[in-house]
Copies of this chain bind each other. A is one copy, B any other.
Amino acid sequence: MSPVPLAVYGLSELRTALLRQDMLQAVEQALISHSQGRVVAPPPGVLLFENPPGDCHIKSGYMKDGSVFVVKLAMGFYQNPSRGLETNNGLVLVFDSHTGKTLAVLNDEGWLTSWRTAAAGALAAKAGAPSQVSALGIIGTGHQAQLQARWACELLGVKRVFIWGRRFGKAQQLAKSLGHQGLNAQAADTVEEVFAHCNVVITCTPSTERVVPSAAVKAGTHIVALGADSPGKQELDPQLLKRARVIMTDDHHQCLDHGEMGHAVRARLITEDADVSLGQVLAGQVPGRFSDDDLTIADLTGLAAQDVALATLAVARLQAAN
């Protein structure tokens, strides 16, 4: 019985191995593959903890035409900050889908999830953007807000960013940090101010009630809603979905269940078949918008396909480097 060495890679190795351009391409392909039914992803598992409160989400999946399968563990322990620890934690495991052999343990500290979400947000922003993007709006000031601003600005080719958060100080802080990264970013006093300046807006808050009122949004705007990734969350006034000419979802069923679309369907403002798939838009099979006057919305809930795509890319790059 010979010992089996296990390849473990940490965050710094992942940072070196993964280029933003490659991640965007991989996630775009994953969204398209998902829309074509070429991804296998069973329902996620969850372990719940009571004392202290926490959860561990177990997601897994693979591409039918790929060579690996991926198991992702994402932990949230909500009293960690009081102990000086990060709330979130995670681990991504990659296996050979023809032999079951463990290929790599990616000790990514949750960053692969951040990147795959940032990539999908940027791709969705571009998929529905009007021909001229005035400025990018960001609703939210957290870790994902920072990534969304950088990734989407690069992909859209814009430098101007308006940020709103419940706490103005945090929005200012983020604007300053983005300024150091070459963007022209400023904090906004109100959500309305963001929508007054920006015709592409990404919402990435953990909100459980509508943050964006319909009246704030003018025709010709494209909204990417990222926050509603589990039941009970909501960022948009459901009237916005009724007004939208195009609603693109990353996954029809997930968005019906817990996305912005679900809220609007349950409020009987739109029908269950009101959406097109983001993957189809990215593949050029259906338009993301018809004219510059359209209000369009991308509703993203997060896909195992995105995790599979980045883990596959990471292993390919890391193995090539070693």
Contact = CB atoms under 8 A, between A and B. Distances in A.
A98 interface: yes
A37 interface: no
Contacts of A88: 100
Given A6-B107, A42-B47, A101 B73 contact: no
B69 A105 contact: no
Interface stretch (A77-85, A114-122, A178-186): A77-85
Interface centre among A3, A11, A47, A77 (most CB of B within 10 A): A47
Nearest to A85: B99
Contact of A105 (B8, B40, B54, B58): B8
A49 interface: yes
Given A3-B11, A93-B91, A105-B6, A58 B80 contact: no
A124 interface: no
B80 A99 contact: yes
Contacts of A80: 99-100
Interface in A55-96: 56, 58, 60-62, 69, 71, 73, 75-77, 80, 83, 85, 88-89, 91, 93, 95
A109 interface: yes
Contacts of A76: 100
Given A77-B100, A100-B75, A8 B8 contact: yes
A320 interface: no
A88 B4 CA distance: 13
A89 B75 CA distance: 24
Interface of A: 1, 3-6, 8, 10-12, 40, 42-49, 52, 54, 56, 58, 60-62, 69, 71, 73, 75-77, 80, 83, 85, 88-89, 91, 93, 95, 97-102, 105, 107, 109
Given A58-B60, A89-B99, A91-B102, 5 more contacts: A1-B109, A3-B12, A40-B47, A43-B45, A80-B100
